Chains A and B, each alone.
Chain A
Amino acid sequence: MYRFSRIGLSFLLVVALIRPSIAALTIDITQGIDGALPVAVVPFAWSGSGPTKGASTVAPENIAAIVASDLRRSGRFAPIPNSDLVGKPSHSSEVNYTAWRALGVDNLIVGQVRPMVDGTYEVQFQLLDMFKAEQLAGYKIRSRRANLRRTAHQISDLIYQALMGVKGAFDTNISYVTVTKNRRQENIYRLAIADSDGFNEKIILETKTPIISPSWSPNGLQIAYVRFKNNIGAEVYVQSILTGRAKRIASFKGTASAPAWSPDGKNLALTLYKDGNAEIYIHNLSRGTSRRITRNSAADTEPAWLPDNSALIFTSDRGNSPQLYEVSVNSFGAKGRPKRLTFEGNYNARASVSPDGKFVAMVHRIEGSYRIAVLERATGHLRVLTESRLDESPSFAPNGSMIIYATEYKNRGVLAAVSVDGRARQRLQLNRGDVREPAWSYFKKK
């Protein structure tokens, strides 16, 4: 009896300690890239004590599994399954390069996790080139228990950068809105933030009225969004993620909507309806003042900033159908006149500008379907990236590699992501209810 209860107790302890972070969103890779780089991520050696699994102890997070899943999700890499691994090296000195080459693996990732006396962990990893038999990257990262998932994403970022020449966007956040029914069949709207892989979801607002258009502050500490209220309509709020405190912005009489945080963090572009129709304003967050940018009897809305804060790209139906226009925020007169950007089709709206300013993602109507398209600003070339019916709310990853957007799948609202070249695709689905209005954060400040 005694032995049994002890086993029972230790089992409970294991469950409590190694309970993995919950993924609220599950991600399916719907299309990988042909010729994705074959890599192997060997489970990291663990040199600590702790909960047991079989005969040996296990690390608090499976770093290698998180890294492999990050790399696979990008569409650029094809990590081979663990069952195919030839050996379990944890350091370059233990690697048989010939054997891995024979397996068709271009790059190998090996590493170790070591618990330190102060309760932190030291995570060491090496990225190895199997053909040159040399190290491409190697780092030691000190991490706290609660940050080990983040450490794994940082390792993925470093690997991505070493192999792709571009910084990875794994160690970033996404924000989105979920809609579920309560017992009385009323809609419950939640504004959530999560890691870029859907883990560590945190609800920052819950209401019975709709929430749309979340926009991250560049420092990742605040989110602006639109909240509807009964008999009042749309209002814009800025909420602190740390404290949960929300403040109404530009509280004029009438609808306020479509907030867009400027890349320098100082201003919020938004749409105010107080002048009789939708006009774009810039609201200075420290001064609390609002400055009008558009003057037109048509609807002007959905402002998006260029990365250098100099201009806005917005939706306007001044030419009858909604199209994208660009307007300088500092020039007046003829120079300050909006310039039309889109000419293909009769519906181009809701711009998201790539972090390098070269591309503009938008919702583009084609044959009655609303799809995500990308405009190359230098050439004016428009490319349609998606193939479904009701795609909306595109948002660029901070490294410009992917665009996350909302769509429907089997009659439910889901998120999807597509690479800018249209070759890699994934779907992010909530366990129940609808998920919509994605917004990708900026890079985190180290």
Chain B
Amino acid sequence: MNKRLSIVLLASVFGLMVGCSSATKEEDTAAKSTDTDTTSGADVGTSGSATEMQGGQADALSKRVVYFEFDSSDVTSETREIISAHAQNLSQNTGMSVVLEGHADERGTREYNVALGERRAKAVKQLLVVQGVQSSQIQVISFGEERPAAVGHDESAWGLNRRVELLYSGS
């Protein structure tokens, strides 16, 4: 009954693992403008297209974030107006490009929210493309729920986090 087993632990892989302290440290230098800041950044409509537009359109063009309903990538009528202004701007300035960055609120799983953010950004892309913007001007990415614009665990925060941000670059 008296089982006696000798287990000799040599310098196991795990022992080496614990002893090792090689952490990869990296800092991202290309910090983007802060999450909530939606008006600064690259210039828009430099070729005077904004001034030629009607007041409402210029207004819409200054908006660089569009919002979505819960669990939805459907584009609202207000969003349509904003996207149309950007479509006009981008199609008239083919040297410009835009990153469409999709986001989700914190509810649900992180990876499914990556898919949801991507789907929202893609819905915006499709609207831009049907209005004459070239696909090559557009890059779709998603941050899922990882970069909330507002912190908080209620609808007032969630509503601000279900969004697509239009990040301009180029000339």
Contacts and interface: CB of A to CB of B under 8 A. Distances in A.
Nearest to A205: B24
B168 to A, nearest CB: 11
Interface of B: 1-9, 11-28, 30-32, 99, 101, 106-112, 114-116, 118-119, 122, 139-144, 146-147, 153, 167, 169
Nearest to A444: B14
A29 interface: no
Interface in A130-153: 134-135, 137-144, 146-147, 150-151
Contacts of B144: 212, 234
B7 A231 contact: no
B2 A135 contact: yes
A229 interface: yes
A213 B141 CA distance: 17
Given A139-B4, A139-B7, A146-B15, A203 B23 contact: yes
A134 B3 CA distance: 12
B109 A393 contact: yes
A150 B14 contact: yes
Interface residues on A, range: 35 or more
Contact of A322 (B4, B20, B22, B112): B112
A7 to B, nearest CB: 32
A77 B2 CA distance: 24
B139 to A, nearest CB: 8
Given A220-B14, A246-B24, A255-B141, A315 B111 contact: yes
A202 B5 contact: no
Nearest to B5: A139
A350 interface: yes
Contacts of A241: 17, 20
A390 B143 contact: no
30 contacts: A135-B2, A137-B3, A139-B7, A140-B7, A141-B7, A142-B9, A202-B23, A205-B23, A206-B23, A206-B26, A207-B26, A208-B27, A209-B28, A212-B111, A212-B144, A213-B110, A213-B111, A228-B143, A228-B147, A246-B24, A255-B118, A255-B142, A277-B119, A301-B111, A302-B111, A322-B108, A389-B153, A390-B107, A392-B110, A437-B110
A330 interface: no
A233 B2 contact: no
Contacts of A437: 110
A144 B11 contact: yes
Nearest to A209: B28
B28 A278 contact: no
Nearest to A179: B146
Nearest to B116: A299
A408 interface: yes
Contact of A231 (B108, B109, B167): B167
Interface string A254-273: 11011000000000000101
B27 to A, nearest CB: 6
A230 interface: yes
B13 A349 contact: no
A242 interface: yes
A204 interface: yes
A131 to B, nearest CB: 15
B32 to A, nearest CB: 5
A220 B115 CA distance: 29
Interface in A323-365: 347, 349-350, 363, 365
A410 to B, nearest CB: 12
A309 interface: no
A198 to B, nearest CB: 14
A239 interface: yes
A244 interface: yes
A271 B115 contact: yes
Nearest to A258: B111
A18 B21 CA distance: 21
A281 B36 CA distance: 35
Given A242-B20, A444-B14, A141 B9 contact: yes
A113 B43 CA distance: 71
B40 to A, nearest CB: 15
B77 to A, nearest CB: 23
